[in-house]
Structures are given as structure tokens and as C-alpha cells.
Amino acid sequence: MAEMNMLQAVNEALSIAMQADERMVVFGEDVGHFGGVFRATSGLQEKFGRDRCFNTPLTEQGIAGFANGLASNGMTAVAEIQFADYIFPAFDQIVNESAKFRYRSGNEFDVGGLVFRTPYGGGIAGGHYHSQSPEAYFTQTPGLKVVVPRNPEQAKGLLLASIRDKNPVIFFEPKRLYRASVGEVPADDYEIELGKAEVVREGKDITLVAWGAQMEILEKAADMAAKEGISCEIIDLRTLSPWDIDTVADSVKKTGRLLVNHEAPLTGGFAGEIAATIQQECFLYLESPISRVCGLDTPYPLIHEKEYMPDAFKTFEAIKASVTF
């Protein structure tokens, strides 16, 4: 065990994976000698050479297409998209190519050895293009896995599992936690299974679901609710696609109430999918409407960031409204 922040945990996962797999290459904009604009790939070029950790020209569609090509020919390709806001030029390569590679070829070819790592989310005064949470654009695409860690220990274990998974994975890293989230991380090579949610706090009155940086918002809101005698069960979804319906449904069958929180805009956000599925699975158990505490249906604003965010106060209010429905 060693105490480290999320960036160090990501860096360590990459280093361990590269050490264990000589086919693995890491690339993207500024990831080479410089080590990435957030320093997530720091030291990797020195350790593994320029052929295995290198800068690409500034082209997201090129990075994604290049990654598809590498993975299609037996390499382990870990590509970085500098900000999730800039993944959209690569949308075609990811949605039409990566996601469908295995299916369309009848398993003659696949890009299972592929991971796109990308910093996402707001709370850092990033305005429109350094704050977005685009996960729902990808959860609607069969063939992709979508993973989001909440702290350094999770980041290392989930990233190692994503790199070794036999499917293309988009790994969203909550950048406001990069340095803010510090915790004990096991030194060994370990994986956290994809597709499994984690109950991080048990409770009996309401189930709260989120992922990534919003997990700490849930915990703050749950603490506020506890002072009013409300017991919250908190679930970190961790993998959004394919997501762990059973763990959430079991919890809701126990608590009778569900609140889903995400930073991304409400309409078309992944909370809608969770709400629709849970009302189907748990119709007879629900005691109040499923609550969604999300970003507004606006572009991510700069000066009104605090007002935009689905923070602990908004979440606390929604918890009370659900419990008193």
C-alpha cells in the first residue's frame, strides 16, 4: 500500500500493464517525453522507449483510427484523448469502427486490445470544452464498454482490467479528482472486474447511484441526510456499459427509492436509462418517483458552474423530496 493521487494511480497502472505486455503502446497528444498535460504518462517513454510511448500529431480521429489499426493487428493500444470534450472528432472511428469491428467481421477481426483514456467532467472552471461528460453518447453504442473510476485505488484496478478486457473500452477519468483524490493504493498488479457496481455505503431509506467525481457529492448529501435521520445506500456504478442492473435493482427492492446523479445534462443522460430499467425491474417496490439530479440542459457554463452542477445541496433536497413523497 502506498498513498497516491489518481494521476499517480493511472500512471502506475499504465506502467504495470506495459511491463507485463510487450505488445502494449501508449500514445496521444503530448503523452511522450512531456508525460501528458496532466502528467498521467509521466516517465513511461523513459522507461519503455519512444516506440512504446509517443506523441501523435494533433488529430483525434487519427489517434482513434490508428488505435483501431494497432488493436486489429494484435497490439494493446492505450490511446489518450486530451479532454473528453475533444473525443467528438473521433466519434466516427469509435462508434462506427471500434464498436462494430468484431461484430461486422463475424469475429474475423477485433479491436479488443483497445482503451481510450480521457479526462472528463467539470468543477475546474473549464467552460464549454474542458468540462463535458459525454458518457451517454457512448453508452448507446453496442460493442463499447464505458468505465469511470471514483478514486485512486479504483482507477488503478479498473484501468488494468480495461486494458486487459477483450473489448474496446472508453475509460473516463474525473479530472477534478486527478490530484484532489488521494488514497491508499495496493502496490500489486490487481484488477477490479468490469460490469460490477459497488455498494460503497449501506442504507435502508433510499438508493443513491452515481459514478466518478459525483460519488463524493453523493457521500456529502448522504451525510447531510443522515443528520435528518435518513439512511442512504450509495452505489458506485463504475461500469456504465454494460451496467450492473442486478446490484442497483436489489438495492432499490430493499430501499424502495432511487436517486441517480450525474454531471451531464439531464435529457438523454444515462440516468434516464437507469430510471427506465429500474422502474421496469422494481415497479412494485417503488415508493416514490425515481429522481434524477443532473446537469442542466445547457452547454457547460463558465461563470455559472457552481449553479449548473448537481451538487450536494441539490442532491440533499431531492433525497428529502423522495423520502417525503
Partner 1 sequence: MSKATLNTDTVHRVGFLDKASLHIPILRILQADGTTYETAVLPVIDETLATKIYDTCVFTRVLDERMLGAQRQGRISFYMTCTGEEAAIVGSVAALDQEDVILAQYREHAALRYRGFTTEQFMNQMFSNEKDLGKGRQMPIHYGSAALHYQTISSPLATQIPQATGVGYSLKMQGKRKVAVCYFGEGAASEGDFHAGLNMAAVLKCPVIFFCRNNGYAISTPTEEQFAGNGIASRGVGYGMHTIRVDGNDMLAVLAATQQARAYAIEHNAPVLIEAMTYRLGAHSSSDDPSGYRSKDEEAKWQQHDPVKRFKLWLINKGWLAEADDVKLHEKYREEVLAAVKVAEKIPMPMLDEIIEDVYDKPTPVLRKQLADLKEHIKKYPQAYPKSAGRL
Range in contact with partner 1 (rule: CB under 8 A) among 94-102, 131-139, 203-211, 259-267? 94-102
Site string for partner 1, 125-154 (x = CB under 8 A): -----------------xx-x---------
Helix (H, G, I), strand (E, B) or coil at 294: strand
Helix (H, G, I), strand (E, B) or coil at 256: coil
* Closest by CA position to 140, among listed 172, 209, 102, 94: 94
Is-catalytic flag, 304? Answer: no
Question: Least distance to partner 1 from the beta carbon of 109, Å?
Answer: 6
Measured distance CA(137)–CA(245) in Å, rounded: 19
User: Which one, 114 or 230, has the nearer CB to partner 1?
Assistant: 114
Helix (H, G, I), strand (E, B) or coil at 299: coil
Q: Does 56 bind partner 1 (CB under 8 A)?
A: yes
Which cell is 36 given? 501528458
Residue 113 CB: number of other CB atoms within 10 A?
25
DSSP string, 80-117: E-SSGGG-GGGHHIIIIIGGGHHHHTTTSS--TTEEEE
What is the four-CA torsion angle of 237, 239, 242, 247, rounded to 10 degrees?
Answer: -30
Q: With the C-alpha atoms ordered 221, 223, 224, 229, is the resulting torsion angle positive or negative? A: positive
Site string for partner 1, 258-297 (x = CB under 8 A): ----------------------------------------
Measured distance CA(164)–CA(255) in Å, rounded: 35
User: Which one, 15 or 68, has the nearer CB to partner 1?
Assistant: 68
Give the one residue of 45, 139, 154, 167 binding partner 1; rule: CB under 8 A.
167
Question: Least distance to partner 1 from the beta carbon of 122, Å?
Answer: 28
Q: Does 96 bind partner 1 (CB under 8 A)?
A: yes
Q: Does 73 bind partner 1 (CB under 8 A)?
A: yes
Is-catalytic flag, 130? Answer: yes
Count of residues interacting with partner 1 (CB under 8 A): 47
Question: Cell 443522515 maps to which residue?
Answer: 226
Question: Least distance to partner 1 from the beta carbon of 164, Å?
Answer: 12
What's the distance, CA 74 to chain centroid? 25
Q: HSE of 250 in the Cβ direction (CA atoms, 13 Å)?
A: 10
User: Which one, 25 or 40, has the nearer CB to partner 1?
Assistant: 25
Q: Does 302 bind partner 1 (CB under 8 A)?
A: no
Give me the active site residues, please. Answer: 60, 130
Question: Binding residues for partner 1, per CB under 8 A?
Answer: 23, 25, 51, 54, 56-57, 59, 61-62, 64-75, 77, 89, 92-93, 96-97, 100-110, 112, 142-143, 145, 166-167, 195, 242, 245
